[in-house]
Structure 1
């Protein structure tokens, strides 16, 4: 992912705050024996600091790749919008269209969790996050409705070792230019436009 200086996160707090409100992305691992990368769309739980946890079904094709090489990447993108050429120039034929988006890529070292209590702990944390009001049964290794299903999954604990964060919203352009695009996003109001506009205005201090 190319990150120009003006697209970089201002600091660690910025990308952490953005990622804390997101829990779905893609987990990528190197392919086995020269094969293409394995990419799995999945929910995950980021602890806000240095660890990601998740679980996947035992037949998932990711497992051989992680066993061969525990270096993986969790990638998340959101708040994206297509910016047409006419918005970025007074004459559409000279404008250059672009994409606005935010993205965070976490390079991690993966540890597979196969013991029942370890998998139950991951499930407890994920369910507490996704269903904070409760409603699910007890999650325990040897009791409750999930104990017999634990054998069908494997857990992952991912230690974050590097972070690449990008907020691509034309920060290198004049304020008037960015305000014009923010107005365009508000008027168009397609899916994603409101999120992209909010990020652009936030980066402008508005």
Structure 2
């Protein structure tokens, strides 16, 4: 992932906060066998200190790839929007001379995968996931000897993804003039399609912290 100086995370807390705000769905990517493409799996995850917690169905083809090479990439993407060319035209030039771009936030984790097959360990992993996704506790106990989870545990395998490196990108034209960034954020808010409003929020938040970009 190319990260320009003006796109980089301002500190670790920035991307950690972004993940904690509910960006808990991503794509697991593992090297495929020689001559074959990588194996990619979209999935929810929960964070646990320096790990990402995941579980997948036992028949998933990703397991063979992980067993062959446990070094994986996990990507979380969000707050994205297409920015039309006229919105980015320089002052004093025709709007059609503006070049379009994409805004987005992405966090990529380089991880080492640890497969969890022990029933008790899988139950604990599920309990941690449910504590994140259903904090009200509105679910049956996750116990290896009780339904419904007990009889379902053999059908899944758990994954603990040990984070080796995290790289974050916040692509919101931070190197452009303040007036330009403010204007685009206003247009995104007015258009209000798909993730326009969250993208505008990220641009304004970064603008408040970065101000005038200085290389």
| Structures share fold, TM-score greater than 0.5 | yes
Q: Tell me if the contact between 1:32 and 1:64 (Cα under 8 Å) persists in the aligned partners.
A: no
Superimposed CA distance per residue, residues 62-110 of structure 1 (whole angstroms, 9 cap, x where no aligned partner): 0000000000111011000000000001422211100000000001000
Q: Which TM-score applies when normalising by structure 2?
A: 0.92
Where do residues 180-199 of structure 1 align in structure 2 (5 Å cutoff)? 180-199=183-202
Which residue in 2 is equivalent to 1:99?
Answer: 102
Distance in 1 separating the partners of 2:95 and 2:67: 51
Which residue in 2 is equivalent to 1:71?
Answer: 71
Distance in 2 separating the partners of 1:117 and 1:144: 14
CA apart distance, 1:143 = 3.0
Which residue in 1 is equivalent to 2:17?
Answer: 17
Indicate whether 1:120 and 2:123 are aligned: yes
Distance in 2 separating the partners of 1:87 and 1:123: 46
Q: Report the secondary structure of 2:150's partner residue.
A: coil
Distance in 2 separating the partners of 1:22 and 1:189: 20
Distance in 2 separating the partners of 1:157 and 1:143: 24
Superimposed CA distance per residue, residues 165-197 of structure 1 (whole angstroms, 9 cap, x where no aligned partner): 000000001100101111111111111100100
Indicate whether 1:132 and 2:140 are aligned: no
Indicate whether 1:60 and 2:63 are aligned: no
Which residue in 1 is equivalent to 2:155?
Answer: 152
Indicate whether 1:31 and 2:32 are aligned: yes
Aligned length: 205
- Structure 1, unmatched stretches of 5+, are none
Which residue in 2 is equivalent to 1:169?
Answer: 172
Distance in 2 separating the partners of 1:139 and 1:44: 17
Distance in 2 separating the partners of 1:118 and 1:32: 29
Which residue in 1 is equivalent to 2:208?
Answer: 205
Q: Report the secondary structure of 1:177's partner residue.
A: helix
Q: Which TM-score applies when normalising by structure 1?
A: 0.96
Q: Report the secondary structure of 1:109's partner residue.
A: strand
Q: Structure 1 stretch 141-150 or stretch 155-164: which is displaced more? A: 141-150
Distance in 2 separating the partners of 1:175 and 1:83: 16
Which residue in 1 is equivalent to 2:5?
Answer: 5
Which residue in 1 is equivalent to 2:83?
Answer: 83
Which residue in 1 is equivalent to 2:212?
Answer: none
